[in-house]
Amino acid sequence: MELKCAYQTYHWGRPGSSSAVAQLVAAGQPEFTLSEETPYAELWMGTHGSGPSVLASSGQPLADYIRENPQVLGERVLAKFGVQLPYLFKVLSVNTALSIQAHPSKSHAEELHAARPTVYKDPNHKPEMALALTPFEALCGFRPLEEIQHFLKAVPELSAAVGAEPAAALLAVSAAEPAARDRLRDCLQALMTREPAEIGRQLDSLVARLSAPGDSAAASDPLLPAELVLRLSQQYPGDVGCFCALLLNRLILQPGQALFLGPNEPHAYLAGDCIEIMACSDNVVRAGLTPKFKDVATLVSMLTYECRTAAQQLFLPTSGGGDERVQVFQPPVPDFSLAKIQFVPEMENTEYTVPVRDSASLLLVVSGSATSGATVVGRGSVLFVPANEKVTLRLAGRQEVLMFQAFCQL
C-alpha cells in the first residue's frame, strides 16, 4: 500500500531542487510545491510522531493501521518489539554540518530518560546506518592515535586549545597502551570544556593561518583537512566542534557505500545525500557544531575512544540470498536492516518480485517506474509491505531501477 510521507525543512538542509529530499517528494507527491529558497533536509518514512506517514488512499496514519492490524508486522517483530514499527527510515540532504554527536546504548538511554526526560525524550537506543545516494561527507569515529598525535604537534592551535598538560600526556602514550583511551578522553574533555573565548582565539588563529596565501602547513601536510576546517568555521564561527575535524575520521562515501553508527561513537554528517535507517528514537547527545543544548559531560563520559582508520569505519553489505541485484546491510542490532535493490531490466515489461520478508517493510523507489496491480509506482513512491506479502512489479521500461527496502531481520 502506498504511503504519503512527511518531510522536514531544518536549516541545514539542501535548498530547493538541489535536495534529493525535495526531488523525491516532488516526484512522489503531485500536490507538493517546491520552493528554491526552502532547505529540504529529511524525508521521514515510518510511524514516528514527529513526522508520521499516512496511507495515501485514505489518509489514515500508518501507526493507527498497524495498531488495528498488528499481524502486518510479522510474528517475530510483534514478539520482540510489540505493536510498533521498530525503525525509522529517512532520506537526508545535508548542506551544512550537523552537530558532533553520539547516541546512547539502550541501558544508558533508559537512565538518561529517567533523569532528564525533557532532554532525552524516550528510553530507547538510536543505532543508525547511512548509505550514500550522492558523495556523502561525514566525520565518524576517532582517527588512529598516531594521526591525532601528529596534529597535536603540527597544529599549535589544537594543542593550545587542548592545553599543554593533557596534550603532553597523550603524546607520551602509544596506541597499544591501555592508558591511551584515558588520555584521549582527557584531551577531549579539556578541549570541550575550555573557555569559549580561548577556543575562539585559537580557531581564529588557525583559520587565519590556513587562509593565508601559500600557507606552508596546509600545502605540505596531506593529512590536514584545511578546507574542511575553514568550511566548518564559516558555518559555525568559534565553535569548538571545528577542532573535531582533526580528531575524527573524515569520510567521503561514494554512492552505495555505508556507515553503521553504533552506541557511543562520535560522528557528524557534513554534506551530501543519503539513505538513513535507525531505531525509533530521538536520543542525541551533542557537543559541538550546534546552537542547541550541548551535554558535554555526558558525551565525554560515554564515548568508546576506540581509534580506527577511515576505511575501517565503512560498513559492508552481504549478498542478497543469491540475487546479484540485491545487497543487504545487516547491522549488529535487531531493530533494522536495509536492502539496496539495483538493476537494469533486460527487456520492457519485465516483472520483478521484491524480496519477501517475514517482517513489515518499507520500500522507497529512487529510480525506475512500474505498476503493482492498479498502483503506479515510480521515483519518490513509498510502499508499506506487510510481513510475508509478495509484491510483484511490472517494470515500464528499461531504465535503471534503484530501490531501498527497510525491514527487520530477526
For 10, 12, 22, 124, the CA distances from 92, given in Å and listed in that order, are 11, 10, 10, 22
Domain boundary among the residues 246, 269, 302 is at 246
Q: Does 383 fall in a domain?
A: yes
Pick the catalytic residue: 286, 308, 325, 379?
Answer: 286
**250/269 Cα distance (integer angstroms):** 10
Per-residue pLDDT of the chain (410 residues; tens, 9 = 90+): 999 999 999 999 999 999 999 999 999 999 999 999 999 999 999 999 989 999 999 999 999 999 999 999 999 999 999 999 999 999 999 999 999 999 988 888 899 888 888 888 788 888 999 999 999 999 999 999 999 999 999 999 999 999 999 999 999 999 999 999 999 999 999 999 999 999 999 999 999 999 988 766 666 788 999 999 999 999 999 999 999 999 999 999 999 999 999 999 999 999 999 999 999 887 889 999 988 888 999 999 999 999 999 999 999 998 777 889 999 999 999 999 999 999 999 888 889 999 999 999 999 999 999 999 889 999 999 999 999 999 999 998 889 999 999 999 98
Residue at 234 is within a domain = yes
Domain at 364, CATH number: 2.60.120.10
Q: Kindly give the interhelix angle for 145-154 and 179-193, rounded to the nearest 10 degrees.
A: 40
Does residue 181 carry a catalytic annotation? no
Specify the number of domains making up the chain.
Answer: 2
Boundary of a domain, candidates 229, 246, 263: 246
Residue 219: per-residue pLDDT: 62
- Residue ranges of the annotated binding site for Zn(2+) are 101, 103, 128, 267
Domain limits at 208?
Answer: 144-246
381: CB partners within 8 A, 6+ apart: 2, 28, 363, 364, 365
The cell numbers describing 393, all together, are: 512489479
Task: Give a yes or no: residue 200 inside a domain.
Answer: yes
Please tell me the pTM assigned to this model: 0.95
